Amino acid sequence: MDLKKNPLILLVDDNSDLLESFSHILVENNYKVKKGYNGDQALRILTESEQKPDLIISDIKMPEMNGYQFFQKISNHPQFNQIPFVFLTGLSSNEEIRLGKLLGPDDYLTKPITEQNLLATIEGKIKRRNQISEINNQLNKKIRKDIINSQYEDDESNSEDLWLLFVIWDAKIGAKLQKYLPKDEEKKERFIQLGAQSFKAIYAIYGTQIKVHSAEDVLIRLKNVGKDAYIYFGVLENQNSIQMKESPYMLSVIADSISYFDKVQIRKLITEEQYKISIDKEWDMNELYYKIKKHFNNHVPNKI
């Protein structure tokens, strides 16, 4: 397992037999494990531990604090809200089925769970976390603090900014900013630089792995500018080309703080527009921007 030395997994389930079984499997495969029997106990483990887990795996149906409540709690905590999270589910209720469709197949495990499936899911999540770490390192080396913050350090309203960028990859000139919101000519040059550098860093890692029907998304921290960025990376199909050439595109949401919970909601909103975008059909960027903004306005963090 060439991921990093002994990744730490937090397991949360009220079924002690399942918890012990999973724990044994993970320890035998060189993972470190911490265990909680419900969301409330898992929160205490998180807040009292010096080392943050590399991944959280949590059951949904638990007493005292269930998996949904636990997920929302840590999503509102800046120290924990970007830890990868996997739900354990039987998909036995309409609510669980809706959650599964919202999260995507990489974010939940359906019971009964085989050892092979458990280990493959964990390895995939850890590898992706390492990829995102690599993207972060590349971006934070390239992005200067003044790209966004210069001339805005004394602007109190800047802390509430939410930006949406749409960038395509042009074979001749590279990354090209197509649209951005809110419209602000003074920030346009910064958006162009940020979009280009973000695109290059991510394309260098994913490259030709990106396919029309399997868009990628990442949540990263732009340390040098004090912002989070959710980046959705897909492909435009050129319907007018005989050779059906494909051009990568990037939709980026930039805000002061974007949690794993926010990521799930933003991905849902973008996915609803993804088909129109992919075939280069007219799509309403303003509508998408205000839907995302509405999510942030309605999502009031709770304290742990």
The domain spanning residue 155 has which CATH number? 3.30.450
CATH code, domain with 124: 3.40.50.2300
Residue 148 shares a structural domain with residue 264: yes
Total domain count for the chain? 2
Residue 128 shares a structural domain with residue 147: no
Angle at 200 between CA 233 and CA 183, to 5 degrees: 70
1 within a domain of the structure (yes/no): no
AA identity, residue 217: D
3 within a domain of the structure (yes/no): no
- pLDDT at 210 > cutoff 50: no
44 within a domain of the structure (yes/no): yes
Residue 160 shares a structural domain with residue 76: no
Asked which of 135, 164, 193 is the last residue of a domain, the reply is 135
304 within a domain of the structure (yes/no): no
**Class of residue 280 by CB neighbours under 10 A (exposed 0-12, middle 13-18, buried 19+):** middle
- pLDDT at 153 > cutoff 50: no
- Distance between CA atoms of residues 163 and 182, nearest Å: 6
pLDDT band at 144 (very low <50, low <70, confident <90, very high): low
pLDDT band at 229 (very low <50, low <70, confident <90, very high): confident
178 within a domain of the structure (yes/no): yes
Asked which of 104, 135, 166 is the last residue of a domain, the reply is 135
Domain that holds residue 111: 8-135
CB under 8 Å, gap of 24 or more: what pairs does 59-64 form? 59/12, 59/13, 59/14, 59/15, 59/87, 59/88, 59/89, 60/87, 60/88, 60/89, 60/96, 60/99, 61/14, 62/12, 62/13, 62/14, 62/37, 62/38, 63/14, 63/38, 64/38, 64/39, 64/40
Q: Choose the weakest-confidence range: 30-39, 52-61, 130-139.
A: 130-139
Residue 151 shares a structural domain with residue 293: yes
Q: Give the pLDDT mean for 127-142.
A: 75
Residue 149 shares a structural domain with residue 84: no
Residue 131 shares a structural domain with residue 150: no
The percentage of the chain sitting over the pLDDT mark of 70, rounded to a whole number, equals 74
Residue 247 shares a structural domain with residue 285: yes
- Distance between CA atoms of residues 63 and 39, nearest Å: 8
Asked which of 109, 135, 161 is the last residue of a domain, the reply is 135
